[in-house]
Structure 1
């Protein structure tokens, strides 16, 4: 039976309670689950929780009978996609690429233990969290068939590895470019030296910016990042971004057009964080286009909000679109993917904006952040 058919409906609570009673009567199962340090739950064929160890209940403050019986794992972890469809966790288009659902599907199909990593974007109030989970699913048969699911939170170790590798990768790239420029300077005429020293200065600024960006991400994910709102001139924000990207290695022989269609002229935001969000959009767009092509950085007035957007003519395939804001997902290779994730984290959790994108084969791709029109009063 396909997962679509299995998840189309749910067992009623009376059946869930029967399953719980069945499992509760097996003493060794209760003892094993109680002894495990991982979150462990037992699922029925519809991926509903029928039994759990105390770790899950305590961690998420659930009462077994009242809150968690019949619920699916993504609903427990408050996955942002769990309620996209009326069927709940596992039934939306985005769920097709969920590591947990893949583990459950494969375990049911093969009737053997399966382990996958699952990346969940979780929302609690206005806050967004990225969870990396190792999900183990093992089929068992009592009176009925079930899955014993063990879940380990590997978010912290994955986050550290990812951020460190990306940070050193990007720093070394820029430092290599800087070294190349410096090596050329002694052999140039005075006029050329001035040009290359300007490039060297820009590369030095990029290194400093990467270090600051790393600090911001660490603080943002730990909830320690401070937001400093002030009135910003939109034209200056756009031009500063244009100057910043001009000598960046991703923009070699590529063009950027800057358009300002705002009537308000100013926006209230944190300049450092807004620049970080927009710079990630610009860099991603530059990486997506070929030499000789152009991207467009634009600001638009939308009545109650101001939209900053970055457009390029490249289309993002649908399967990639569905995973675009996950922290470690990227089309650029292993250990990438922080750029789009940081856009979402900084833009929504801290700047209180709305970050999104559109991508079609006809129109290309546009990333944007909508910021509310607010004042310091």
Structure 2
């Protein structure tokens, strides 16, 4: 067993440094190039339920679930060889075999013998993950329960329209009610699918669709929602306005694509000044399509690096930070790509690359 206060120990720490590391609430361990524990601090032992002597001299995968042992060995070897390790969330096992969740980060050091070591820092996020899953379960139940009254709302306009005394203006209003209710059901279904997208288990079922027709509906719906602000949207095919005879055919899932572009276009309208202009530019290609959404607003510099992260939002009283996050999940699921350029001078240009067949991308993955 290694003594970290022994100056001859490969991982020797100064007495002052040892006091600091032992007092920190963050779990710390040091492993050698073979993955053997050479040092563990009290917080690390408390988290896993082991005594120091039960860990020291053992391979670090003793706290790793069996299905992840091979991967973790490979990542450890790559790290020792000089590759960087991205901070991540992992499942681990404590002494009693209970599954826990950690946030882990690591750094390189060299021991007194000149050999590389890995210092790993862990934080217990088990409760946070449990609360997130509970919230997601509650949200899914609420969304499910919302569909029942909405289905009734969808059917009522058609029943009223059977009355011969209903005027054309009333029929138009009833049609708006029905379409709005159907859109709400579609959006609820899309939000229910967010969990499957996060888990990578969403079953893609592509069908032929006209991307221009879909984007036209998105634009009309967003313009209607912001009519009081006087904003206008323009749908372009290349450098010219779209005509009624234009088509851009893909295979994809209309509901996912509507949700994707509705979120992004809604954000563009919200970021555009009153009476401003938003453009959706489509470039059709043999292997898919590119859509560019431009608005005159600028994404705040402080959130640009994490623009597509979950719950990231700023300056919007009704924003929940899920729009761009779900957009990224959808694009990743269909095998596309997404990005943006934003500045005070040029506004924000957000682009989406879509494959010609999202199901082919799914089966290849």
TM-score (norm 1): 0.57
CA distance in 2, matches of 1:63, 1:274: 34
Shift of 1:22: 4.4
Where does the alignment leave 5 or more consecutive residues of structure 1 unmatched? Answer: 1-13, 43-49, 73-85, 91-99, 101-117, 121-132, 138-142, 183-188
1:231 is the counterpart of 2:227: no
SS of alignment partner, residue 69 of structure 2? coil
> Please, which of 329, 334, 345 is the counterpart of residue 345 of structure 1?
329
Where does the alignment leave 5 or more consecutive residues of structure 2 unmatched? Answer: 1-29, 91-100, 106-110, 113-118, 158-165, 361-365
CA distance in 1, matches of 2:189, 2:235: 25
1:297 is the counterpart of 2:277: no
Q: Aligned pair count? A: 279
1:81-135 Cα offsets, whole Å, 9 max, x none, are xxxxx97347xxxxxxxxx7xxxxxxxxxxxxxxxxx899xxxxxxxxxxxx775
Q: Which residue of 2 aligns with 1:327?
A: 310
Q: Which residue of 1 aligns with 2:76?
A: 68
Measured at CA, do residues 68 and 254 of structure 1 come closer, stay the same or move farther in structure 2, by a change above 3 Å?
A: same
Measured at CA, do residues 58 and 214 of structure 1 come closer, stay the same or move farther in structure 2, by a change above 3 Å?
A: same
CA distance in 2, matches of 1:298, 1:200: 30
The answer on whether the counterparts of 1:251 and 1:286 sit within 8 Å (CA) in structure 2 is no
Shift of 1:269: 1.7
1:158 is the counterpart of 2:135: no
Greater CA deviation, 218-227 or 362-371? 218-227
SS of alignment partner, residue 310 of structure 1? strand
Greater CA deviation, 357-366 or 339-348? 357-366
Q: Which residue of 2 aligns with 1:54?
A: 62
Shift of 1:322: 0.5
CA distance in 2, matches of 1:348, 1:21: 37
Q: Which residue of 2 aligns with 1:255?
A: 232
* 1:121-270 paired onto structure 2 within 5 Å: 135=103, 149-153=122-126, 154-155=128-129, 157-158=131-132, 161=135, 193=170, 196-248=173-225, 253-261=230-238, 265-270=248-253
1:295-342 Cα offsets, whole Å, 9 max, x none, are 112211356431122211111133211101112222236981111111
1:35 is the counterpart of 2:49: yes
Shift of 1:214: 1.8
1:215-241 Cα offsets, whole Å, 9 max, x none, are 221332344422222222233222222
CA distance in 1, matches of 2:180, 2:172: 13
1:5-57 Cα offsets, whole Å, 9 max, x none, are xxxxxxxxx99469966427x8x788545417xxxx99xxxxxxx99573346
Measured at CA, do residues 231 and 315 of structure 1 come closer, stay the same or move farther in structure 2, by a change above 3 Å?
A: same
Greater CA deviation, 286-295 or 146-155? 146-155
CA distance in 1, matches of 2:318, 2:89: 15
> Please, which of 7, 16, 23 is the counterpart of residue 39 of structure 2?
23
Measured at CA, do residues 217 and 70 of structure 1 come closer, stay the same or move farther in structure 2, by a change above 3 Å?
A: closer
SS of alignment partner, residue 23 of structure 1? strand
SS of alignment partner, residue 337 of structure 1? coil
TM-score (norm 2): 0.59
Q: Which residue of 2 aligns with 1:274?
A: 257
SS of alignment partner, residue 135 of structure 2? helix
Q: Which residue of 2 aligns with 1:108?
A: none
Measured at CA, do residues 362 and 87 of structure 1 come closer, stay the same or move farther in structure 2, by a change above 3 Å?
A: farther
1:137-164 Cα offsets, whole Å, 9 max, x none, are 9xxxxx99x7752332534632653796
Measured at CA, do residues 119 and 319 of structure 1 come closer, stay the same or move farther in structure 2, by a change above 3 Å?
A: farther
The answer on whether the counterparts of 2:209 and 2:254 sit within 8 Å (CA) in structure 1 is yes
1:249-279 Cα offsets, whole Å, 9 max, x none, are 5875321111123987312222221111111
CA RMSD across the alignment: 4.8
Shift of 1:242: 2.6
